[in-house]
Structure 1
Amino acid sequence: MTAKSMMHKKPVDLNLTTFTQCAPETVQAQPVVELVLALGSNYQADKYLPLARQRLAALGEVRLSTAFQNPDFTATTQLPKPDYTNQCVHLTLTTPMSLQQLQQTFKTLEGDCNRCRQTEPNQIRRVTIDIDILLIKLSKENNSLSKKLVSKPMSDWIIMADRYPFKAHEEAGVEELILTKL
């Protein structure tokens, strides 16, 4: 193991409670330069996860966490559901985009992957791809939150309050990306 790779393996105290949290609507127009996403699929994940990662790579540099297979927490013995494959993605954008633009881009990508949001009651919900924004890093320029963020550790990163607390696989993915130099 090289000194450089050992440096990335140092334990990191990932205390997410110290991160700033914002409701997405409060930063809709802010320019985002980096983000951490949660990807999930419970239907043809071997097809749709690589397709989503490829499309995300067209937006900038992509780094991936380990993919996890997790049971659907809404499954019951009466209504079993397929497991999800989940993975976190760190995306450094080539060109900053507003959070609103990113959300629309990801909804379009989900649609391009045949994501169907409507299901009949008691029908198994097939999710080809789900893309959720967990963390964002705003551009230092025009950042109305910069004064508020300066005193906090890892202050550049903002947790999307509608996604927190993270699910166990999301927290594990975020930790892994931070350990490998988020």
Structure 2
Amino acid sequence: MATLTQCAPETVQAQSVVEVVLALGSNYQAEKYLPIARESLAALGEIRLSTAFQNPDFTATLEQPKPDYTNQCVYLALNTPMSLQQLQQTFKALEGDCNRRRQTEPKQVRRVTMDIDILMIKLATIENSLSKHSTFKSISDWIVMADRYPFKAHETAGVEELISKSGFIG
């Protein structure tokens, strides 16, 4: 994965995305909210799932214990290409459908019903005069979201599992 192109999300906001790799996370009623998220994602296209891992919250301390997270990676081949910006809005709406509430009080234990992060995207192949001036080696290569890399251990394990099961990166 270190050999893949990294890109800041804001530089590809308007680009047409055809495939995406996501990280799902929940530290509150994961057994309820992960299936809801997976069902909603399946409505957008073909999905493949990694194993769901239970992990301690890496921000927890002895003074401030926090609930464990259940994490899972998802490969999604979209039925209809969307811009990265549209995908981000769609995933925020899916988090809301899972009763995600963004807490503002720093002392509160954060209950995260669903968190959906974009790890990697694959852009639609665009044949035009601009494509030869692209900053990417090839417009169809997978692009790692620079704000998410290096991946957390469970994200790396999930992506590697998806690759070994599906061979979607090639």
TM-score normalized with structure 2 length: 0.91
SS in structure 1 opposite 2:10? helix
Distance 1:23 1:145, change over 3 A: farther
From 136, 139, 153, give the equivalent of 1:168: 153
Does structure 2 retain, via aligned residues, the 8 Å contact 1:110–1:129?
yes
Residue 80 and residue 57 in structure 1: after superposition, are their counterparts in 2 closer, same or farther (change >3 A)? same
1:40 paired to 2:51: no
Report what 2:101 is aligned to: 116
1:95 aligns with 2:80: yes
Q: Which residue of 2 aligns with 1:6?
A: none
Map of 2:67 onto structure 1:
82
- RMSD (CA atoms): 1.8
Aligned match of 1:130: 115
C-alpha deviations, 1:56-96, integer Å up to 9, x for none?
00000000001100000111111111000000000000000
CA distance in 1, matches of 2:127, 2:101: 37
Amino acid at match of 1:95: T
1:80 aligned counterpart, secondary structure = coil
* Contact 1:119 1:125 (C-alpha < 8 Å) held by counterparts: no
Alpha-carbon offset, residue 119 of structure 1: 3.9
**What is the percent sequence identity of the aligned residues?**
76
Who is 1:17 aligned against?
2
Q: In the comparison of the two structures, how many residue pairs are matched?
A: 165
**Deviation at residue 149 of structure 1 after TM alignment:** 3.6
- Partner secondary structure for residue 174 of structure 1: helix
1:141 and 2:126 equivalent? yes
**Structure 1, unaligned stretches of length 5 or more?**
1-15
Partner SS, residue 40 of structure 1: strand
